[in-house]
């Protein structure tokens, strides 16, 4: 009977998660291309260093260490969760025990990390509720964002408590048990006075509580900021390999320049059916690239980007974290309607001005401090640059100082207001 119940719960979990994943896939389909994904060797190396070894997160030594330990612990505990799923379907008990020493190392590490993670989660909750950590607050973080974070932390804490309880009472109920449990084995003797039935009942309660929490947590993640648990590693893998300071040229503009410089060659090289771009830059969510969107899904809202932004530090409106959050927010608002009604759908709003002020867009110095600091390789400046491109190339809307520079370049071939003939007068 328990196998049947487990299989039904697993089927419901997979069904709901597949539905959520399909909805996100549909939203990805309305995004635009970013760049070709090549150099897989470099990408794998970067993923190992940045994602699995957590290189960037150690720039903040204390918080970085806590987060890295939680991440590494989850990787070990994941193996035990997979074993639970297999046991639940097949009606077995500790099915992976045949791995021998490898199993002992994985299960032993998972047992130790269960207690470490539980302790560190308490620290995270205290940091969010008691300590005034500036980067964990901000105008873009509303009450629901803080509740989301606390709910996720609470669920992770309960997962670790039920895992520890499952291990303790597994040992208490089995004189000869599979695996190694360095911490739980020290606690289990406390419950030697309980009857065998009580021990097995408490073990089963913890086992079912743990697996049901996993099922609930997995299906809550796509609607939470903690979706980065799934999206962070892919985001690092697909991150740009070019230097952060390198700004990409727009293909449509490159074609126009080639056409002006050599019309015959440009027309000959143009593929059939080549159409002009629908829009220069980004105005709204249908203009973002798949990389912009995956950035927004991977964002942990940790605030490291905003904390190092020179514009934000000096009191400007710009918050790189807010910019990335706005992508996901706007996609949630408009994306499903575009999927149903097509790209002609309009709700009378846009990313620019309704969610992101022009002042924020122009406050960026493109120093790339945010992209350099982000532990998940989110590329904020490229997105901001595309917002600027729309304002300049579609609306001719730029600060007066920039418009003066543009006019000088057009008239004088240089950013200065002097003509070519007068440019060397200063030498006299």
Q: For 186-201, how does the pLDDT look when each residue is reduced to its tens digit (9 = 90+)?
A: 999 999 889 999 999 9
In angstroms, the CA 332 to CA 173 distance is: 49
In angstroms, the CA 154 to CA 157 distance is: 5
Confidence of residue 215 (pLDDT cuts 50, 70, 90): very high
Beta bridge partners of 289: 32
pLDDT at position 421, please? Answer: 81
* Total Cβ atoms within 10 A of residue 310: 14
Residue 8 CA to its chain's centroid (Å): 31
Confidence of residue 118 (pLDDT cuts 50, 70, 90): very high
pLDDT at position 104, please? Answer: 93
- Domains along the chain? 2-226 (no CATH), 278-397 (1.10.1060)
In angstroms, the CA 243 to CA 382 distance is: 12
pLDDT digits (tens, 9 = 90+) for 357-396: 999 999 999 999 999 999 999 999 999 999 999 999 899 8
In angstroms, the CA 250 to CA 241 distance is: 18
In angstroms, the CA 278 to CA 286 distance is: 11
pTM summary value: 0.87
Confidence of residue 277 (pLDDT cuts 50, 70, 90): low
In angstroms, the CA 61 to CA 58 distance is: 5
pLDDT at position 270, please? Answer: 54
**Stretch 291-305: mean pLDDT:** 94
Question: Which of 112-116, 253-257, 350-354 is predicted least confidently?
Answer: 253-257
φ, ψ of residue 289 in degrees (nearest 5)? -90, 165
Chain mean pLDDT for the chain: 91
Confidence of residue 83 (pLDDT cuts 50, 70, 90): very high
Q: CA 279 → CA 27, 383, 389, distances in Å?
A: 19, 15, 10
Cβ(16)–Cβ(218) below 8 Å: no
Q: Nearest 5 degrees, angle CA 217-CA 222-CA 225?
A: 90
Confidence of residue 267 (pLDDT cuts 50, 70, 90): low
End-to-end CA distance of the chain: 98
Confidence of residue 256 (pLDDT cuts 50, 70, 90): confident
Residue 31 CA to its chain's centroid (Å): 17
What percentage of the chain exceeds 70 in pLDDT? Answer: 97
- The pLDDT of residue 252 is above 80: no
SS (HEC) of the chain: CHHHHHHHHHHHHHHHHHHHHHHHHHHHHCCECCCCCCCHHHHHHHHHHHHHCCCHHHHCHHHHHHHHHHHHHHHHHHHHHHHHHHHHHHCCCCHHHHHCHHHHHHHHHHHHHHHHHHHHHHHHHHHHHCCCCHHHCCCCCCHHHHHHHHHHHHHHHHHHHHHHHHHHHHHHCCCCCCCCCCCHHHHHHHHCCCCHHHHHHHHHHHHHHHHHHHHHHHHHHHHCHHHHHHHHHHHHHCCCCCCCCCCCCCHHHHHHHHHHHCHHHHHHHCCCCCCCCCCCCCCCHHHCEHHHHHHHHHCCCCCHHHHHCHHHHCCCCCCHHHHHHHHHHHHHHHHHHHHHHCCCCCCCCCHHHHHECHHHHHHCCCCCHHHHHCCCCCCHHHHHHHHHHHHHHHHCCCCHHHHHHHHHHHHHCCCCCCCHHHCCHHHC
Q: Which residue has the higher pLDDT, 309 or 139?
A: 309
Exposed, middle or buried by CB within 10 Å (0-12, 13-18, 19+), for 273? exposed
Residue 392 CA to its chain's centroid (Å): 30
Q: Which residue has the higher pLDDT, 314 or 268?
A: 314
Cβ(17)–Cβ(11) below 8 Å: no
- The pLDDT of residue 271 is above 70: no
pLDDT at position 275, please? Answer: 60
Exposed, middle or buried by CB within 10 Å (0-12, 13-18, 19+), for 106? buried
What percentage of the chain exceeds 90 in pLDDT? Answer: 70
């Amino acid at each position: 009977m328990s196998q049947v119940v487990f299989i039904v719960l697993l089927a419901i979990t997979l069904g709901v998660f597949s539905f959520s994943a399909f909805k996100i896939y549909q939203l990805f389909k309305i995004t635009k291309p970013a760049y070709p994904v090549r150099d897989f060797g470099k990408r794998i190396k970067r993923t190992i260093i940045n994602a699995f070894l957590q290189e960037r997160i150690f720039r903040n030594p204390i918080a970085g260490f806590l987060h890295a330990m939680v991440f590494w612990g989850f990787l070990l505990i994941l193996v035990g969760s997979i074993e639970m799923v297999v046991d639940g379907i097949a009606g077995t008990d500790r099915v992976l025990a045949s791995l021998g020493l490898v199993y002992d190392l994985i299960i032993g590490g998972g047992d130790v990390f269960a207690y470490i993670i539980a302790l560190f989660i308490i620290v995270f909750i205290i940091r969010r509720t008691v300590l005034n950590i500036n980067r964990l607050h901000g105008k873009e973080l509303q009450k629901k964002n803080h509740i989301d974070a606390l709910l996720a932390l609470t669920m992770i804490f309960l997962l670790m408590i039920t895992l520890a309880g499952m291990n303790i009472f597994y040992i208490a109920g089995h004189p000869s048990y599979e695996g190694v449990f360095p911490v739980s084995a020290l606690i289990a003797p406390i419950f030697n006075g309980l009857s065998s039935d009580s021990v097995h009942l408490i073990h089963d309660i913890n086992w079912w509580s743990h697996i049901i929490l996993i099922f609930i947590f997995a299906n809550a993640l796509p609607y939470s900021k903690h979706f980065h648990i799934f999206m962070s590693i892919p985001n690092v893998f697909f991150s740009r390999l070019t230097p952060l300071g390198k700004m990409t040229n727009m293909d449509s503009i490159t074609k126009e320049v080639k056409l002006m410089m050599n019309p015959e060659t440009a027309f000959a090289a143009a593929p059939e059916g080549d159409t002009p771009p629908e829009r220069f830059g980004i105005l709204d969510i249908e203009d973002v690239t798949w990389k912009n969107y995956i950035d927004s899904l991977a964002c942990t809202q940790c605030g490291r980007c905003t904390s190092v932004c020179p514009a934000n530090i000096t009191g400007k409106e710009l918050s790189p974290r807010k910019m990335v959050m706005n992508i996901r927010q706007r996609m949630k608002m408009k994306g499903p309607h575009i999927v149903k009604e097509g790209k002609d759908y309009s709700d009378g709003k846009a990313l620019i001005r309704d969610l992101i002020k022009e002042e924020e867009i122009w406050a960026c110095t493109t120093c790339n401090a945010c992209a350099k600091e982000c532990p998940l390789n989110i590329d904020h400046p490229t997105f901001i640059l595309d917002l600027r491109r729309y304002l300049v190339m579609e609306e001719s809307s730029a600060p007066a100082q920039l418009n003066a520079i543009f006019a000088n370049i057009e008239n004088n071939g240089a950013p200065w207001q002097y003509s070519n003939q007068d440019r060397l007068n200063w030498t006299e």
